[in-house]
Amino acid sequence: MKLLAVLDLALDGVKVIRLGRYRDERGYFTELWRRAAFLERPELAFLKQVEFVQANESFSRPGTVRGLHFQWDPPLGKLVRTVAGRMLDLVLDIRLGSPTFGRALAYDMPADPEGEHQDWIWVPPGFAHGNCFSVPTQIEYLCSGVYNPRCEAGISPFARDVDWSLCERGLKAELDAIGAASARMSAKDRDGFTLAQWADDERSRHFLYRGP
């Protein structure tokens, strides 16, 4: 496994894992996941106690916005990558007591077959997660818990009380433009909680800040 870097994003605990590609005149090969290799690297120690139990794939048409989703039983972390197309990955801190509670960011993840690397983004439990798509896009993600529809909820990425000050302005402008153009969203996502509504819900106590 050719690990190039582990990048810390502005929300503590959210990471980007950058893997290199072995290239030649035919194209490239990259090793995306090998548990033993991940666990032997000290910079990936945050995954040591994580067991991935489910793998999902989705395809989204241009103008689609998904999320912001979270699950508390079992807690659900996600390791996500773009297979084809381009994804803006959206992450919101919902850990009560966190210094960045209510703050969100977007991370640009295009799939470039001519590029020298491939990114995963790790979104641990305690964060709401979503995506936005400007082109036809296929993504896949590994999950640290099995999906449980009885213990999941969502906050609308367009809720006015979500703080996007950590997000790059250009990426936030893209998200807003898609939202203003009547984004493709499920009714559940469009009508998701505001941040204040979720904080007032007793179920929000499932996500407490435990410190750095």
- Residues classed as catalytic: 69, 141
Alpha-carbon distance of 84 to 81, in angstroms, equals: 9
Answer whether 166's CB lies under 8 Å from 100's CB: yes
Alpha-carbon distance of 112 to 184, in angstroms, equals: 24
Radius of gyration, alpha carbons of the chain:
17
